[in-house]
Structure 1
Amino acid sequence: MAPTLLELTASIVSSHAAMSELSTEELVQEIQKVYATMQQLEGGVAEAAPAEEAKAPVISLKKAFQADQVVCMICGKGGMKTLTRHLAQVHNMKPREYRKQFNIPSTQALTARKFSEARKKMAQDRGLADNLAKARAVRAANIQQKKAAAEKPAKAKAAPRKKKA
């Protein structure tokens, strides 16, 4: 016996909810979206879902990016340190699309300011910038060696040898 749309929807949403934390409101929205999509697929109708781009921001840009947390301007979910994963999992959106939708300048990080500063300090304490500079210098030296090694045989083949008579 084939499973019904409701059973399939329940299975899909429960799998999603097991992997990511959803509020009650988000869970209800997810069930509705999945069920509507399943109905469209069953009916063979390939209608475009209402685009989330048309929605106005739930929160202002200034309030969305605070020192200790970031709030999603689409759904209003807050308490996050960074938005990238939330955008990909919940809204199926890339950071570039999110910036374009809400006219967020590229200079504005999609992370909480304190989180970014802590990561920067940790990288400096570990000397990651110095290690990166050293690795780049080694790589450049290796590339130069390969170029020099490739040029030597090419020059040797270019000069014809004279035959002894």
Structure 2
Amino acid sequence: MAPTLLELTASIVSSHASMSEMSSEELLQEIQKVYSSLQKLEGTMPEQIEPPEAKGPSVSFKKAFQSDQVFCMICGKGGMKTLTRHLGRVHNMKPGEYRKQFGIPRSQALTAKNFSEARRQMAQDRGLAENLAKAREIRASKLKSRKSQPEKPAKAGRASSKKKKS
């Protein structure tokens, strides 16, 4: 069951009051402000908000993915290097949902091309690929050595100590 405006107001004001000192007069004013704001929001929200599926892209695919920046195809916001954080915070959406909504192929990165290239170059300069390959070799050799060793039998000491207590 959805909370009423009064319950929401009480929750918001109590949270605010717990973080800052308020006189009784300030508290009453805060309750009135929050309640009236929630009433306004309740009256205007359904008309203003449309589900994102109902709208087409606000930006074309070609404009959305440029070499130096990316634009959000939902709201048109640009100047970003990557879309993942924006999608999660602003639109409460995962990258897979975004790709599905606009038909973006998996091969298309949700980052600016220059940003991806810079990160790739940095990783190569630091030798991260070589380090990863070495770590995989070490792990594979450890797994092989474990498989080649016979399994150790379960300790008999525990079972025999239980029998002695009985």
TM-score, scaled to structure 2: 0.64
Q: Matched residue pairs, number? A: 122
Give CA-to-partner distance per residue, 1:14-42, whole Å, 9 cap, x none.
xxxxxxxxxxxxxxxxx99xx44xx99xx
Match of 2:111 in 1: 111
Counterpart CA distance in 1 for 2:89 and 2:8 is 26
AA in 2 matched with 1:77? K
Give CA-to-partner distance per residue, 1:31-84, whole Å, 9 cap, x none.
99xx44xx99xxxxxxxx853122110000000000100000000110000000
Alignment of 1:27-42 (within 5 A): 35-36=41-42
AA in 2 matched with 1:101? Q
Note the C-alpha offset of 1:129: 0.5
Counterpart CA distance in 1 for 2:69 and 2:83 is 10
Counterpart CA distance in 2 for 1:116 and 1:129 is 15
Match of 1:80 in 2: 80
Counterpart CA distance in 2 for 1:82 and 1:134 is 30
3-state SS of paired residue (1:86): helix
Match of 1:90 in 2: 90
Q: Sequence identity of aligned pairs in percent?
A: 59
AA in 2 matched with 1:68? D
Unaligned runs of 5+ in 2: 1-5, 17-36, 154-166
Alignment of 1:113-152 (within 5 A): 113-149=113-149, 151=150
Counterpart CA distance in 1 for 2:58 and 2:110 is 16
* Coordinate RMSD, CA, aligned: 3.2
Give CA-to-partner distance per residue, 1:97-137, whole Å, 9 cap, x none.
10000011111100000000000000000010000000000
AA in 1 matched with 2:90? V
Unaligned runs of 5+ in 1: 13-30, 41-48, 155-165
Counterpart CA distance in 2 for 1:97 and 1:4 is 31
Which aligned runs of 4 or more in structure 1 are off by greater than 2 angstroms? 2-9, 151-154
Counterpart CA distance in 2 for 1:65 and 1:143 is 43
Counterpart CA distance in 2 for 1:128 and 1:4 is 50
